[in-house]
Structure 1
Amino acid sequence: MAQNPTRRSTKQISGEDIVVETAWLYYHDGLNQSDIAAGLMVSRATVVNYLQEARERGYIHTKLSPEAFNTHRAALKLCERFGLKAAYILPDGTGGPDDHASRIIRGAADWLPSLLEPGDRLGIAWGKTIYDVAEQLEQTTIPDLTVLQLVGSMATPYGFSADVCSSNVARKFSANCINLHVPAILSSAEIAATLRAETLIAHQFEAVSNCNKTLFAVGSCNPDSHIVSSGLATLAELEQYKAMGAVGVLCGRFIDAKGDPVSGPLDERMMGVELEKLRHRDAGILVSVSEDRAAAAVAALRGGYATHVVTNQRSASAMMDLA
């Protein structure tokens, strides 16, 4: 039986100290909540509140080992089927779509630091999934890491632009950041060509094209796709690309079922990395948060954009069914 700590009234330990003391006794010394309550002369409910406060203040960081998610059967089967280096498959849980997405995003944030090395050049895509991953990252330092924005900026219905995604990732990793100081799409191909020729912009595009690792999500070609809601494409333009075989959207550009780029009216107006620059990198980390994006995810895998996948069991199964 665990031994009670020395009995001390909370009058002797107050404020922030009592929260830290409770967390230490529970997580480090392995005492149960009843033992801690007796030792600190408080109720068990108070101990529960102290532990919750410790988590909310960021004093406690709990993670399951990556092996729990990338060595079981579903992960190994996905790797074998698509030639991946690794897959991180979260359990589905009992919640709805929002809970599923939240689990996958947290898993991606937990796994990402272990996939990066000093000197890496990490290209960051845009969208709510990547924004949420950046928000979940814990502060850490990866020496000589450079984070690069892969697509120009565009206002979104979520209240952030593409540069926020790359800037937040860079901030969490204490990394250098190179953003594209241009809109994601322009009104004409001529204006886009002129901007690409500007010395500063040309240097930014050259830097972005030389990333060795990428973090991205893929969008669907459904009418509620982020490429429409963000204003990058109209519904009519979306239907035009679908008629040409598009099944997904990667970094603002359309891909077909094989993962090949689908050329269309938006391409010359787009200000972002060309898809060919994203193929066969040292690591392409795909975060896929729902079953309705399975076809788009499979297209990205077939196209050679991803070496690592973060998703849940249900979405992984949907991908396998499409293989």
Structure 2
Amino acid sequence: MIDKKQEYNEIMQVMTEEELVARIAWFYYHDNLTQGDIGNRLGLSRLKVSRLLEKGRQQGIIKVQINSRFTGCLELEKSLQQYFNLKYIRVLPALEIHETNERLGVGAAQMLMSLLKPNQLLSIGFGETIMQTIKYCNEFITDNGIKLVTLSGGVGPYMNGIGQLDGSCSVSIIPAPLRASSIEAAKLFKKESCVRDIMLAACGANVAIVGIGATQQRGQATLLRTGYITEEKQQIIRQQGAVGDILGYFMQADGRIQPDMPLHEELISVSLDNLKKIPNVIGIAGGENKVEAILSALYGGHINSLVTEEKTARMILAQLV
């Protein structure tokens, strides 16, 4: 049985510690002292100060309130990351003053610069957001010796971004069209060592970035602009149940690849199964017409990281309720 003296000592110890936590918190958050400065002032080690701050947060003594327009984005990131078990996520604040693809490119470039190490290999898909991403990490790619390799055939869709890189950058482009004239022609292209070797290299990248197309898109879609499919064919594919694509492979709402599509066999593009073998696959997309397609990519596990914007993220979460 605890005697009164022991009980008194325990109460005083708790009170003393609570007061100590309060003082440390005041010095740290109000006076902007470092943990080392606080330790010197109170005769504590820096480690003890750090532990007491953490204990104060756990016990509810310290509550940090962040007043920023970015707070909502951080909450969205946490919700999406937990739901889809994402490795990395970046939700950009909704802004009307900048074009969506450009803002997504900036956000994706920042993510890449935090992930890529010098001399690593980056595989890239096609699309405007991907080219904007390359544009905004141009200097980083050059300074760090990052090697680039394309995930699909078709030179045209890549030139807007790759064309802006320094001439010293290492870039390997699959020397073939995005879509062959027939299944037989596609097989012949893939047998060529110059095509096969680059596709194999793309699968061995440290990081991959891919755009996510939507069958709701009209003339601005990369697949339409490059002549991969016609708008009429796109509508037929949507009526058959496809909601979006990655690298030209169309996906259903649940993330499965659209079945019975000879079009896929004419593609000269890394398969989505092989794409999954890359450790970090970042999907970059935003906009109301991309919500279904992004969800499909997430459900199918075709990407394990995401860069999007606030309005899109809210619409994605609304679909999960």
Unaligned runs of 5+ in 1: 1-67, 156-160
User: Could you tell me which residue of structure 1 aligns to residue 313 of structure 2?
Assistant: 316
- Given that 2:84 and 2:298 are in contact with CA atoms closer than 8 Å, whether structure 1 keeps it comes out as yes
Pairing partner for 1:218 from 188, 212, 216: 212
Greater mean alpha carbon deviation, residues 77-86 or residues 235-244: 235-244
Counterpart secondary structure, 1:139? helix
CA distance in 1 between counterparts of 2:72 and 2:110 reads: 13
Q: Which residue, 239, 242, 253 being the options, matches 1:243?
A: 239
Name the counterpart of 2:175.
181
Give the structure-1-normalised TM-score.
0.69
- Kept in 2, the 8 Å contact 1:129–1:217? The answer is yes
The answer to whether the aligner puts 1:285 opposite 2:273 as a matched pair is: no
CA contact (8 A) 1:69 1:88 kept: no
**Corresponding residue for residue 196 of structure 1:** 190
The answer to whether the 8 A contact 2:217-2:289 is kept is no
Corresponding letter in the other structure for 1:247 = V
In the alignment, the residues of structure 2 paired with residue 128 and residue 195 of structure 1 have an alpha-carbon distance, to the nearest angstrom, of: 26
Cα 1:227–1:148 shift into 2, 3 Å? same
CA distance in 2, matches of 1:148, 1:125: 9
CA distance in 2, matches of 1:212, 1:223: 30
- Per the alignment, in what secondary structure is the counterpart of residue 318 of structure 1? helix
> Does the CA contact (< 8 Å) of 1:248 and 1:255 recur in 2?
yes
* Distance change >3 Å, CA 142–CA 80, structure 1 → 2: farther
1:154 Cα deviation from its structure 2 partner:
5.4
Q: What corresponds to 1:233 in structure 2?
A: 229
Deviations 1:175-230 (A, max 9, x none): 53221011111211111111211222222222223233211110110251332232
Q: 1:69/1:268 Cα in 2 relative to 1: closer, same or farther (>3 Å)? A: farther
Q: Residue type matched to 1:215 in 2?
A: I
Matched residue, 1:305: 302
Moved more, 185-194 or 71-80: 71-80
Q: Which residue of 1 aligns with 2:154?
A: 153
State the 1:145 CA deviation: 3.4
Higher radius of gyration, 1 or 2? 2
Q: How does 1:47-58 map to 2 (within 5 A)?
A: none
1:232 Cα deviation after fit = 0.3
Of Structure 1 and Structure 2, the greater helix share is in: 2
CA contact (8 A) 1:153 1:163 kept: no
The match for 2:64 is: none
2: CA distance between counterparts of 1:189 and 1:129?
29
Answering whether residue 259 of structure 2 is matched by residue 265 of structure 1, we say no
Q: Distance in 2 between matches of 1:207 and 1:138?
A: 21
CA RMSD of superposed structures (Å) = 2.5
> Which ranges of structure 2 fall in alignment gaps of 5 or more residues?
1-69
